Structure 1
Amino acid sequence: MQDINKTHLSNFILLGFSERSEVEIPLFVIFLLIYLLTLTGNLGMIVLIQTDPHLQSPMYFFLSNLSFIDICYSSIILPRLLYDLLADRKVISYIACAAQMWFFTLYATTECYLLAAMAYDRFAAICNPLFYPVAMAKKVCLQLVAGCYMVGLVNASVHACGIFRLSFCGPNEINSFFCDIPPLLRLSCSDSYVSKVVLFVLSTFVVVANAVIVFVSYSYIISTILRMQSSTSRQKTFSTCASHLTAIILYYGSLTFMYVQPGGLEAVEQDKIVSVFYTIVIPMLNPVIYSMRNEEVKKAMKKRLCKKISSQHLKLCSFHISHGADGKVQVNDKGCPLINQ
């Protein structure tokens, strides 16, 4: 009987997207821009929510946590990918690979549950507005976020223990750009049937359980919106939910396509494309989705931008405002200060 506790390989090689060196620099530039946009968009969203008094509701508390997860999520993948695109040998140690897979699974699972918690928040706000302050009190919100991280921690640990107890005795080439579960299972020289079943069952449970919460919540939400007499109220309420629903469809759809198909472990090139979408593209898109579809976020952004422009304008004008012989500021016929040319 093979000793499944023994691992013969000390490192892996990440094959990435292509072995052709001529495409590595363009890919490096593209992914670097995506990473910078992801950091800027999500950090900007966090700062905006934390500093704007009109965005201090539970909905935006969850949104700031989603932005934080997206920053962590992409930072686990993209810096390593950028390094590999410039490196001669894309070698990652056994420990680093295990850590990358664990953190990736942690944040991916946490984001799934956080999106479901955000759906429940919208349900409570729209369908039970009088009960909303109690249902989504600050303590409850903190407990929900902590619960999302706890479930992610358990799920990541189960998968890590299940996969890295297997033997990896060669080859050591991971046909992906990061240490994901399906490509690692393909490399194992042990019987990985149990780990594949665990992957399918847990992934199905995570996606389906959260999809049920989202479906039930939005069924009540849509029913409530349709009963609203004012078209303005319907439009405003729907615009608040549309951004969140868009993010859910994109994220849950890509995860389902990747992990919940029983025979999905063999579609290697297809997996790479889907992986790029949910690990790299979606964290960049989330701030755009929420800022473009949410009226309150757009108003807060415009207010902050106008305030910044006004501040810079006044600072500039303070050095050039014209004063008369009596020391008073000279103004034009519209009451605006005259500027020295």
Structure 2
Amino acid sequence: MLSFWKKDKNDAEAQAQDTPAPVEAPKLSWMERLRNGLSRTRAQINAAGSSLGAGVGALGDLFSRRRIDEDLLEELETTLLTADCGVEATTYLITEIRKRWKRDRLETGEELRAVLKELLAGLLAPLQQSFDLDAHRPTIIMLAGVNGSGKTTSIGKLAKRYQAEGKSVLLAAGDTFRAAAREQLQEWGRRNDVTVIAQDGGDPAAVVFDAITAARARGIDIVLADTAGRLPTQLHLMEEIAKVRRVIQKADPSGPHEVLLVLDSNIGQNALAQLKAFDAAIGVTGLVVTKLDGTAKGGVLAAIARTQPKPIRYIGVGEGIDDLQPFVASDFVSALFDDASAS
């Protein structure tokens, strides 16, 4: 039996030597991931051009084979609305395009494309604002959002990002409402080697207070405070999250130093209703827009810019740890128009 085993082993080793090692796919850059993530929005906006021969591909296809006329402008207006840019942002963009069309005597679809890019970049640019993580120690960041928005996952990704920047981080498991939320956050803490302050059930405000106290005692740079996911219509839960904010201010009168609302881009215009409700309850200072890779509604950023402008701190286009990145308006617009030459 031993000789057969040796033969089988030798054959297996020989076969293994003949089998080429798997080739790892090259890691995509952030711009490549962003372009891929926005492909559904790009295709949605471009779909209107397909009926007139443009085909669904890069957004530029909508314009490259067309001369500017009323039909093209009406088609563009419809597709911007379909991509959830919203009535206000769409009206603004189309009105400005009409002005430029007449003033500058634009003729080709490619000229129209350039004007739309310029206007959209100008609309989104004010939302690109950095946040100073060094102004306070600890810097207390409170995160809110409805269940399923990607809030807890975003906390884990932010913890990893801040650690890479040389910051020490502590997590507060203030979502005591959802059964698995504490365990999910603790798992993120384990992966990132970050302490998580948690307790079974209890008052979420007390958990956050304990976390701030611990962070101050340990000289921690950043506290990321999770809160229970809730719908704006759940008034008792909205009052609870407002209480968390008040308790943070008792623990540190200067805090919270950032109140991030995590929005799932798949919900389109409903994001505006969520933003309004959470802002009234806790004073939102910044946004994290997630799941842009799973929706054709990426235009909601334009709707936010026009109707309820809040800084967009980060955008997410995937599940990977590096798929949550700071929002850069010019990168977003370049990816939306599939400008492969953009860095």
Q: Do Structure 1 and Structure 2 share a fold, with TM-score over 0.5?
A: no
Normalising by structure 1, we get a TM-score of 0.24
Q: Which is richer in strand?
A: 2
Q: TM-score, normalised by structure 2?
A: 0.24
